[in-house]
Amino acid sequence: MEKTAQKKKKKAVSLITHLFLICLAVVVLLPFVYIVLISFGRGVTSVSTVIPSSFTTRNYSQLFTETKYLSWMGNSVLVAAGTMTVAVIIVFTSSYVLSRMRFCGRHKLFSGILLLQVFPLVLSMVSLFKIFVAIGFLNKLSSLIIVNSVFSSAGLILVAKGYFDAIPHSLDEAAKVDGASRMTILLRVIFPLALPILSFIAIQSFVISYNEYAVASAIMSEGVDTLPLAVGLQSMLHGQFGQNWSLYCAGAVLGSIPMIVLFYSLQKYFIGDLLAGGVKE
């Protein structure tokens, strides 16, 4: 009787869990399904439209024939890839230094990085604009890479340092006994073990830069061809096409492809227990 009751209880818990997960999946996926439907809608001018009355693929062809969509996406991919590369290097080296090295002011430096997260990026737009005007970096994609790299790295260092702290110090000591230099330890010992967190950093920095709008709209103020995707889509929505939400959603759907490709390319590195077997207890 007890075994039967336990089985029924497990089945009930399993059923409730699956129902909850199904409901959660519906809540998460519903907005994406809605955007895809609107992207195929014919002349949707109001966001209150639930299901378009008619469907067409003209919205997607219109993106490439009547707008600078390819240039916008190319700019965003270039900026995001540059930001991702710089952020991974900065976060990887900074987290290693803060986790492994002992030097005067280490804790104050970490606290200073933490303070960068207190102030919203929007508050620095005026200062950034004046700085880039003074040094001639206005309306250049490299300026977006610099800004996005700095602000994305500051937050990701806080996450990565905890991961580096969890890597056993005995691995460093064993490598030193074998005559390995600090650079060799960093590249040959720490780097392979840090691939999961570095993959997370790469994805996060790419997404942050790819979706950034506020600073990009202030710095990239001239030339339609130089706009990143977020600014380009916004200008298209309130530009010559009026309130054409179908065209906007079509651009958003295609714009999500680089992020999806990046995620599935790096997901194999999200593996647990990478340290298992590294150190014998």
Tokens read off for 278: 């590294």
Count CB neighbours of 14 within 10 A: 10
- For residue 13, being part of any structural domain is answered with no
CA 60, 66, 69: angle at the middle one, nearest 5?
65
- For residue 108, being part of any structural domain is answered with yes
| pLDDT tens-digit series, residues 98-139 | 888 777 877 788 777 777 777 777 777 778 888 888 888 888
- For residue 281, being part of any structural domain is answered with no
Residue 136 has what pLDDT? 80
- Answer yes or no: is pLDDT of 278 > 90: no
- Answer yes or no: is pLDDT of 262 > 50: yes
| pLDDT tens-digit series, residues 139-172 | 888 888 988 898 888 888 888 888 888 888 888 8
**Which residues on neighbouring strands pair with residue 41, listed in sequence order?**
55
Query: How far apart are alpha carbons 193 and 272 in whole angstroms?
Result: 11
- For residue 90, being part of any structural domain is answered with yes
| pLDDT tens-digit series, residues 196-252 | 888 889 998 999 899 888 888 888 877 777 888 888 888 777 655 556 788 888 888
Range of the domain at 199: 58-269
- For residue 44, being part of any structural domain is answered with no
> Mean pLDDT across the stretch 254-260?
89
Q: What is the mean pLDDT of the chain?
A: 82
> Mean pLDDT across the stretch 262-268?
80
Domains: count for the chain: 1
Contacts of 7 (CB under 8 A, 6+ apart): none
- For residue 3, being part of any structural domain is answered with no
Q: 55 — phi, psi (to 5°)? A: -125, 150
Q: What is the CATH number of the domain that holds 127?
A: 1.10.3720.10
Count CB neighbours of 260 within 10 A: 9
- For residue 234, being part of any structural domain is answered with yes
Residue 270 has what pLDDT? 59
- For residue 33, being part of any structural domain is answered with no
Query: How far apart are alpha carbons 196 and 111 in whole angstroms?
Result: 25
Query: How far apart are alpha carbons 178 and 189 in whole angstroms?
Result: 12
